[in-house]
Amino acid sequence: MPPLADSLRRVLARLVDLVLVGIVVGLLAWAFDVDEYELSADRVDAAKFWIRDIIVAVLYVGYDTLMTARNGQTLGKRLFKMRVANLDNGGTPSMATSLLRAAVLWVPFAFCCACLWLAVAGGWSFFDKPFKQGLHDKAAKTVVVGTGGG
């Protein structure tokens, strides 16, 4: 198996993915008028907020799942020359494994505590030994490895 990817490069790749998918999320939330919730003295319309959270969850989970199952790379990982691999054999994760990995990372992000969860789940790789796994990698039994170069 190729060498494990550097944790800082993983963070940078994740930031690229956050921005790319975030643009699409923002455009869809704006198009469906669910980009903010409304408050008045009579009622709070939080339904829009939940619809936006569902859009966030579906798009981030879908993007990460499909791209990872396809060749182990999101656009951010491709840019920083790394890929997700099965821990046991180094192969590209299956659709089910990719979905589990994405769900552990993105569902709490969408519905709970976005910044805190990403910092904990992804930041775990900075301290994990010996495989530099984030919590989502541990759940799916995957690692992130370099693809050569940079």
In a domain, 17, yes or no: yes
Cα four-point dihedral sign 109, 14, 17, 19: positive
In a domain, 89, yes or no: yes
Provide the pLDDT for residue 126. Answer: 92
Query: For residue 101, what are the domain limits?
Result: 7-146
Among the listed ranges 37-41, 83-87, 127-131, 146-150, which one has the minimum average pLDDT value?
A: 37-41
In a domain, 1, yes or no: no
How many domains does the chain contain in total? 1
Interval 70-84: pLDDT, tens: 999 999 999 999 999
